[in-house]
């Protein structure tokens, strides 16, 4: 069963040689963590560069590509999602409500979800501020039960309980360990209340180190079966790897 990191970033604003070096460093850290694959996404800027991501990481067999757009660009953003899915082989769409001021119960979020559904994309949604509150993510998931959603940070730190309740109410919603793994009792709580089938490992590299995140979760002694699901079994099932 492959081990997968569901959220890492590549500095797509950098020149091509620097991007290549960053990609090498990324997978060196994943090697230290015992992780085989990583879902790689572009820098969250006013205009995320999905083409640069594809040109740098599209050849890397260990990279699962995730597109990100500024939805305030309207039709052009939706067209880029389509291109990312159909031409560049990207499997995931990242939604960043705080950066792009996307209200998750509003029309823009629903359009992004519809586009993801139309192209068979898994959706990764940032959590951790009022505009990206876990309960709003839960409301969006309820409206799109046929779209799989990964909630990064699992509402850490203030809203972990709300994230758990949102996942409890929506079987298409999974909680990601990014950042939360550095207070690993948070991950243990989610596993205890929801089961390991609903928790997915992520590092948030380069902001945090994958080897340290993996070790923090392992020290919770969740058991080999739970770890197998969290560290890759769940996401490999979702992505069909």
* Cβ pair 188, 220 in contact under 8 A: yes
Q: Is residue 208 helix, strand or coil?
A: coil
- Give the whole-angstrom CA distance, residue 173 versus residue 160: 14
% residues pLDDT > 70 (the chain): 100
Q: Give mean pLDDT, residues 4-24.
A: 98
Close Cβ partners of 27 (under 8 Å, ≥ 6 residues apart): 38, 60, 62
Residue 52 half-sphere exposure, CB side, CA atoms within 13 Å? 22
Q: Note the pLDDT tens digit of each residue in 121-174.
A: 999 999 988 999 999 999 999 999 999 999 999 999 899 999 999 999 999 999
**pLDDT of amino acid 226:** 98
pTM of the predicted structure, to 2 decimals: 0.97
Looking at every residue in the chain, the average pLDDT score rounds to 97
Contact present, 93 and 121 (Cβ < 8 Å): yes
CA distance 2 to 25: 20
Output the pLDDT for position 129.
84
């Amino acid at each position: 069963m492959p081990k997968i990191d569901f959220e890492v970033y590549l500095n797509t604003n950098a020149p091509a040689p620097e991007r290549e070096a960053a990609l090498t460093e990324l997978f060196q850290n994943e090697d230290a963590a015992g992780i085989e694959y990583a879902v790689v996404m572009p820098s969250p800027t006013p205009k995320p560069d999905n083409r640069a991501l594809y040109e740098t990481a599209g050849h890397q067999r260990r990279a699962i590509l995730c597109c990100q757009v500024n939805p305030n660009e309207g039709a052009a953003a939706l067209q880029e999602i389509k291109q990312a899915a159909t031409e560049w082989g990207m499997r995931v769409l990242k939604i960043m409500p705080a950066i792009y001021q996307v209200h998750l119960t509003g029309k823009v979020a629903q359009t992004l979800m519809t586009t993801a559904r139309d192209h068979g994309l898994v959706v990764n949604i940032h959590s951790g501020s009022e505009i990206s509150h876990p309960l709003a993510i839960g409301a969006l998931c309820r409206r799109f039960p046929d779209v799989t959603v990964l909630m990064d940070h699992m509402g850490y730190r203030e809203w972990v309980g709300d994230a758990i309740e949102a996942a409890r109410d929506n079987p298409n919603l999974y909680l990601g360990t990014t950042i939360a793994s550095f207070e690993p009792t948070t991950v243990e709580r989610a596993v205890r209340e929801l089961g390991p089938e609903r928790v997915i490992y992520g590092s948030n590299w380069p902001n945090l180190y994958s080897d340290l995140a993996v070790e923090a979760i392992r020290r919770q002694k969740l058991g080999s079966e739970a770890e197998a699901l969290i560290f890759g079994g769940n996401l490999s099932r979702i992505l069909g790897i």
